[in-house]
Each structure stands twice: as C-alpha cells, then as structure tokens.
Amino acid sequence: MTTPPSRHPLTSTHRQPPTDSDLGPADPEEQTSVSIYVRPRTDQEAPTGRVSREDWAAIGGADPVDLDAVAAFAREHGLTVTGRDLGRRLVVVTGRVADLSAAFGTELRSYRTADGTAYRGRRGPLSVPAGLADVVVGVFGLDTRPQARTHLRAASAQAISYPPTEVAAAYAAPTGTGTGQCVGILELGGGYSASDLSTYFSGLGLATPTVTAVSVDGGTNAPGGSADAEVMLDIEVVGCVANGAHIAVYFAPNTDQGFLDAVTQAIHDTTNKPSVLSISWGGPESTWTAQAMTQMEQAFTDAATLGVTVTVAAGDNGSTDGVSDGQQHVDFPASAPHALACGGTTLELSGTATDPSITSEVVWNDLSSGDGATGGGVSAQFPLPSFQASAGVPVSANPGGKAGRGVPDVAGDADPETGYAVRVDGSNTVVGGTSAVAPLWAGLVAVCNASLGRDVGYLNPTLYGLAPSSGAFHDITSGSNGAYQAKAGWDPCTGLGSPDGQALLTSLQAAGTTS
C-alpha cells in the first residue's frame, strides 16, 4: 500500500507477510482494540534515580498533549478512545477493522495456522499523519498472529526429579521468606487451579501462597489447556523459593500487543506492586518487529527506574533458537539489555532433599535426542551493553561475526531429565526448560529483597561487577548449546553461572542499593 505524502511510515512497524493459510480480507465490521504507545514526555529531564510508581507519570510518563493528539487522530477516523494511561504512555482505541486499516494505512487479512488458530495479519509498515510521526512509537493489535511460545519441556519416564525446594537448597537460597514481596508472573494462556496449589504446597509442608489473577486485554485464568503446565510451574517454583510472597499472575492473549500490555501493566501496577517480574515466554528475535523489541526494552528500562527486576527465560532450542535458516539466533525478550536472561543447566545432586549437594552441573544440551538445550548467543538487535564490556562476549557465530548483547546472564537447572516435580491439572508430573529458571531467579530475588529490606531492581550491572571471589555463582565450564561452548567466566550458554544464593545476598548487602 502506497503511503500518501501527508502521512509518515513507521518503519519499525514493518511486518513480514504471514506464511500461514490466507483466508482473504479480514471482516471489515469486526470490532477490535489497538494499543498505541507514545514517546516519553520531553518537558522533563530523564530520571536518573529510583522513582515511585505513584510519581512516575509526572516524571517518566507521557505528555498529556501527546495523548490528546492521538485521541484526536482516532476520533477523526471513527475510532473510540477506550483507555488512556499517562504512566504507561498508552492510548487504547477501539473500532471497526475497516476504520483501523484506514487510520494506519494497512490491509488486514485473515489467516489460519496449521493447528487451526485463526488470526488477523498484515505486511509492511504502518503509517500515521506526519504530525504524529515523532509522537507515536508503537502500534499493536492490528496483527494478532501468535507471538511467543513457552520455554517448557516434559521429562521422560526415566527422569530424575527434584521439588523446587530441593533445587533452591542446592543453590543455597537464603533462609527466610518472601513475606512482604509481590512477584509478578506473565502468562499468555493457560491457568491454575487453587485446589492443585493447595495440594501441592501442603504436600511440601509449605503455606499455600496468595495468588491473584490479573486480566490484561481480556486474558483470564483459564485452566484446561496445554499452557497450564507453564502457569503451574511458574507459580510453584516461585512459591517454593520465596514462600510467603504474594504472586500476581498477569494473563494476556498470545500476541505482541498482549505481551507488551501485560508487561507494562505489571510494571506500573499500583495495586499489587510487584518487585520482580518473571517471564517464561518468548521467541527468536527474527520473529518480532523492531517496534515490539524497542518498546519491550523501553518497558524494562522503566522497570529498572521503578526498582523492578525482570527475569526472562533464554529459550530451549539451543543456539539456533529453533530457527531452521542455518543461522544462530537468540530469544527475545531475554535478549533485551534490561532483562536478566536465564539459561539452563543439567543439575545432579546427592544428599537429602533438605541438605543436597551439587555433584555435577553442566550446560543443558539434549539436542542429540531431540529434547532441547539452553538458548544463548549474541543478539542481532541490541549492541553490547556497557555491563558486558569486560565479560568476554564473543562476536556472533553467524557469518560476519557481529558484536552484540550476550545471552544469557545467569543460569539454573533446566534439563527436564533433572527436572522439577510439579502438579498440573490434578496430576503430579516432571518438567524442565528455562521456563523453570526465570521463576527460580525471580523467587531468589524476592527473598533477597525481603532480607535486605529494599528492592534490588536492575541487577545486571551489579552481577557483572562481582568478583569471582564473591562466590555468588557456580561457574559452569563444561558443555555447549550448539555453536557456543562453556568456558571459565561468562559464556553464551550459562552466562555467569548458577547461583549461590547466600553468597549472592552477602554481595548485594555489600553492594548497596542498585539502580
């Protein structure tokens, strides 16, 4: 579609055409909602220290004039403003598909995936009036193709399994609880059962955590589907590692709009106020638009200013991230510089469940048997961040060898063959994947926050600044994830290593407040 001279193309919104079955033009009368994100306000200095959620809108939010301009544009195209949030820098507009297509200069078509999932799709960039070119930074919800996948793997019948409490003990998680903390968990499907949680935690002799379901863009706690294992794993790992913490689960549709809206709602939630956000969903960088990656990293940057730690699973498909183009890929949003990217290991323990010892820990790699491996590598989207300047991040293994943000930052047990004993939909089972490592680290951070009496927030610069003598990490030096090998120090398989929780807490006490 040609962009008229009076309109400005938003190049970062470019979408590749879907490869699924094309069913023809989308229903022009269908009502739908679109999330429009705008720039940070320009009449304030960018915040340099911590800001409270209550003060954020006036300091780091949107300029009301910008939101008014977007609202006026929407009304001109027959659309209704159904949401407006200064802190999230967000305007939500609702209307007919035909009017939305005209407003953003795109053609919307209907598609169906091989498994029967129907969605709307588009190709090329969106456009806005020239006067909004510097105001609008992201438009989400026109294209509703499935965006992310869980990073979860089922175990074989021969698998070794550990309750999350045993894994936490092996990693010397600090004594104490997560009381007073809220851990947010992002989910793009599935649900949890209160009776399953009660049975699971009482069986471990633990208090059942208070869990709150938060609806985003119509997403709900809806147990009974394939994503239930992800939801239950996340809750049960957090609840074991940081028993006593309140858990808020943000349910959203599996689209780029749902993903981003859930992240921004959690970060700016003045009711539940999570101090940590755990994300076990993602996809190869190549499957995201530039606008989605930019806005997600902006949201994580906001989280850092608000003192929220964001832990993200690094993926379960080795150094290719499951892409079959012969190239190496990293998973997003783990590759965002303001995410704490969590890779995976194979963990073997001895001793008892309450006093275990690590006998072996290597890079998780079951690719030879088709059972996955930890993600990791070098970002094609984000440059090398300053906190990794001295980490020895290699250039990408792809032709041309470009430098970029190294993934992951940290690691933990992820191999389903040394997996986690969990309860899902009334049955006990064993699962693994880096999906388990993000909530493991989220729970660990919550316990550290409770012990310190402050929220550690954005941890990456602090973690990379710790001396090896701190003992905060078990350095994983054996194994590979495909294109990358483990080595002493940081590597693109397990990052800095798996945690020694007590040593990490001691280091954080010495480091003082992070930024």
Residues labelled as active-site residues: 230, 234, 435
Which two three-digit tokens encode residue 458? 């954005």
| Interstrand relation of 31-38 and 118-121 (parallel, antiparallel or unpaired) | unpaired
- What the block records as the tokens of 449 is 């926050």
**CA 2 to each of CA 6, 7, 8, 105, 291: distance values in angstroms, whole numbers, following the listed order:** 12, 10, 11, 8, 20
Residue 321 near residue 79, CB atoms below 8 Å: no
Backbone dihedral angles phi then psi of residue 490, each to the nearest 5 degrees: -65, 145
Q: What is the three-state SS of 370-421? A: CCCECCCEECCCCCCCHHHCCCCCCCCCCCCCCCCCEECCEEEECCCCEEEE
DSSP string of 250-312, one letter each residue: EE--SSHHHHHHHHHHHHT-TTT--SEEEE-EEEEGGGS-HHHHHHHHHHHHHHHHHT-EEEE
- Six token digits for residue 310: 């964001």
- The candidate with the shortest Cα–Cα distance to 230, out of 206, 251, 204, is 251
